[in-house]
Each structure stands twice: as structure tokens, then as C-alpha cells.
Structure 1
Amino acid sequence: MELLITYDVDTTSPEGQRRLRRVAKACEGIGHRVQKSVFEVVCDPGQRLRLEADLVNIIDPCVDSVRIYQLNRGTFAAARHLGAAVAPPHHGALII
């Protein structure tokens, strides 16, 4: 499945800044960063559940927001990139 993950973490406190780093690290472990707070992810249902559980445990639901959009397969391949955008190799090996 293909997922588009976006997030907005309140960074007005040191705890918020730590949460932001932890959210980014969790997403980097499974997907490709395409903008500062946007990741494209190709995963199976089990990986999605693990990622969502990790994110729920990281964020403060009172001030942070994570949005996960499930897209049709092939959406990333059909995306148009303008400017300095880079097309990540979604179906290649993910090296961390």
C-alpha cells in the first residue's frame, strides 16, 4: 500500500522538539522524506499498524497532528515533481 504521511508537531517546548525528532525518525524508518514534514511510504498492512502505534505513542494528541492518507497503488509513480523535488525510489531497497 502507498501512504502519504504529514505531520505538525508543536515545537514551542523542548519536549515538542524531541517529539518532532522522534516522529521524523519513525517515518524515516519506513518511508522517504519528500518535504520537511511529509513522507511517502510503501508498506504492507502490518508495517502500517506498527508505524501508527509508534506515532500514537510519540505525539501529544492535544497539540500535535499526524495525517495518514492511503493512496491507490501507483500514485507515487504518477506524481509530478516541480522545482527541487526528488523522486524517491519507492520500490527499491530502503537503506537506513
Structure 2
Amino acid sequence: MELLLTYDVCTTTPAGRRRLRKVAKLCEGYGLRVQNSVFEIVCTEAELLILIDSIHRLIENTEDSIRIYKIPKGSFKSVRAIGTAQVLPHGDPLIL
């Protein structure tokens, strides 16, 4: 499945800034960052459940906001990037 994940973590406190770094790090393990707080993710239903559980453990429900959109398969192939944005290769092998 393909997902678009966005987050807004309150960073007015040191604890909030730590949460932001942890959420970003978690998302980097699942997908590709396309903007500061936006990730394109290709995963299975099981991986999505693990991701959601991990996010619940990291954020403060009264201060932070996470949005996950399930989008039709193949949507990332039809992305139109404008300006400095780049279309990212989701199907290509990752080189670490």
C-alpha cells in the first residue's frame, strides 16, 4: 500500500524537540522524506500497524498531530514535482 504521512509535533519545549527528532527518525525507517514533515511510504498492512503503534508511543496526543493518508497504489508514479521538489524512486533498490 502507498501512504502519505504528515506530522506536526509541538517544538516549544525541549521534550517536544526530542519527540520531533524521534518521529522523523521513525518515519525515515519507513519511507522517503518529500518535505520537512511529509513522507511517502510504501508498506504492508502489518508494517502500517507497527508504524501506528510506534507513533502512539512517541507523541503527545494533546500537543502533536499525525495524519496518514492511504492513497491508490501507483500514485507515487504519477507525482508532478514543481520547483525544487524531486520525484523519488519508490521502486528502486535503496543503497545504504
Q: Give the residue type in structure 2 aligned to 1:30.
A: Y
Match status 1:92 vs 2:83? no
**Which ranges of structure 1 fall in alignment gaps of 5 or more residues?**
none
Residue aligning to 2:75: 75
**Which ranges of structure 2 fall in alignment gaps of 5 or more residues?**
none
The 10-residue stretch of structure 1 (79-88 or 28-37) with the greater mean CA deviation from structure 2: 79-88
Alignment of 1:16-95 (within 5 A): 16-95=16-95
What is the SS of the residue equivalent to 1:15? helix
Give TM-score, length-normalised by structure 2: 0.96
1:95 Cα shift?
4.3
Q: Give the residue type in structure 2 aligned to 1:65.
A: S
Tell me how far apart the structure 2 counterparts of residues 93 and 51 of structure 1 sit (CA, whole Å).
21
Q: Give the residue type in structure 2 aligned to 1:81.
A: A
CA deviations 1:11-38 (Å, max 9, x no partner) are: 0000000000000000000100000000
1:94 Cα shift?
3.3
Report the number of matched residues.
96
What is the SS of the residue equivalent to 2:16? helix
Give TM-score, length-normalised by structure 1: 0.96
CA RMSD of aligned residues (A): 0.9
**Sequence identity percentage:** 51
